[in-house]
Amino acid sequence: MRKISTKKYKGDILIVDDTPDNLRVLTYLLEKEGYRVRKTLNGNMALTACEASLPDLILLDILMPEMDGYEVCQRLKASEKTKNVPVIFISALNSTQDKVKAFKVGGADYISKPFQAEEVIARVRHQLTIQQQHRQLLEQNTQLQKLNETITRYNEEIAKSNAELEQFAYMASHDLQSPLQVALGYADMLLWKYENNLNEEMKRYIGEIIKAGKRMQQLIQDLLAYSRLGAHPPQLQAADCKIVLAEALTNLGEEIFASGAIITYSDLPIVMGEPTQLMLVFQNLISNAIKFRRPEVTPQVKISAELKSENREWLIAVSDNGIGIESKHFERIFEVFQRLHPHTVYPGTGLGTSICKKIIERHGGKIWVESEVGVGTTFYFTLPCREE
């Protein structure tokens, strides 16, 4: 009795040949290498065997009665179930025309008879390796597709939650303004109407109420401005930064006058953007430059622009000579409600740079900061060039 090797199972191979001696020799060679082997004598039996159990590889003779190997291969490749099973033709036909035809009907390789054992094993091993790699790629692609679908679903849920949160912030902020305005109005009225009946301590208490109310009022206004940014995409148009900056400086007139700030700027470009939103960027960055000034030092703010033609964008810089920012806080300052100083030292809501970041990113640009403590800070941001 022939002993079969107990080597580890390597694959299921179907041999199709109408010559029993060829079947016996091939079966012996392949089983010795650890392959599971099935045998059929004609094309119809081979197609039935494939339908019953899909092999990993088919060794297929060409010259067979009733249905030759070419037709068998064509039928296999036409079936959704069997089209990916590699077929190695093994035949006594040695002409170039026969071999080309074998590849045209879907063959993966070709072995000529009489065959050499080493060649058969090498070609079988090579095709099974390719098949295994193909399956692994399909599995990885399936897993990646599922992962992408999961990420897409999570991103959609996050976007929906963010939209709902922004809508809630807008509604809450809007609804808070009226009662807050009433509270501030009554506090002002108390201070005005009963001024002669209030001692200094009472006046101080009411003054603190008014100051806290105004801080809350500013916070609500900034929160409204931030939430409005997410309502609609920016309507990009040709925006002249000189005009946009002039409007921001007009709005900051009192701060500039009170601080004695010196504002200088070079020739600024026309970019693609929404003027109102870009005005907010300039206004917030210049306001911060004035606010975070060094004691006894006149604030100086310089605005400049540089064309980055390789990216078709403008790089705009807003530089100051203020107190500076430690490098560990460079990312933090763009987060919502993040403050580096108490409001009693430097007033504000912690939303200014967050608003700038959101505006610039919604314009397709980037914003970042460079700073040295005790020397000054420069905010950089990019905006798309005007369309020609």
* pLDDT value for 5: 46
Rounded distance, CA 282 to CA 320, Å? 13
The helix (run of H) or strand (run of E) holding residue 187 is helix 117-193
pLDDT number for residue 2 = 47
> What percent of the chain shows pLDDT beyond 90?
52
Upstream peptide bond of 299 is cis (omega within 30 degrees of 0): no
Rounded CA separation 107/100 (Å): 9
State how far the Cα of 285 lies from the Cα of 266, in Å rounded to an integer: 17
Quickly state the pLDDT bin for 3 (edges 50, 70, 90): very low
Interval 272-294: pLDDT, tens: 998 988 998 999 999 999 998 99
Cβ contact 282:248 at 8 Å: yes
Q: Between 191 and 345, whose confidence is greater?
A: 191
- 10 pLDDT more than 70: yes
Region of poorest pLDDT, from 190-204, 252-266, 303-317: 190-204
Q: Is the pLDDT of residue 13 over 80?
A: yes
Residue 26 pLDDT > 70: yes
> Which of 229, 230, 220, 234 minimizes the C-alpha distance to 163?
230
> Is the per-residue pLDDT at 377 higher than 90?
yes
pLDDT tens by residue, 120-152: 999 999 999 998 888 889 889 989 998 988 888
Indicate the pLDDT class of residue 231, thresholds 50, 70 and 90. low
Which residue has tokens 């870009």? 278
| Residue appearing with tokens 């509270």 | 183
Q: Would strands 313-320 and 376-384 be described as parallel, antiparallel, or unpaired? A: antiparallel
Considering only 179-183, 239-243, 341-345, 372-376, which range has the smallest mean pLDDT? 341-345
Give me the percent of the chain exceeding a pLDDT of 70.
Answer: 85
- How far is 356 from 133, CA to CA, in rounded Å? 50
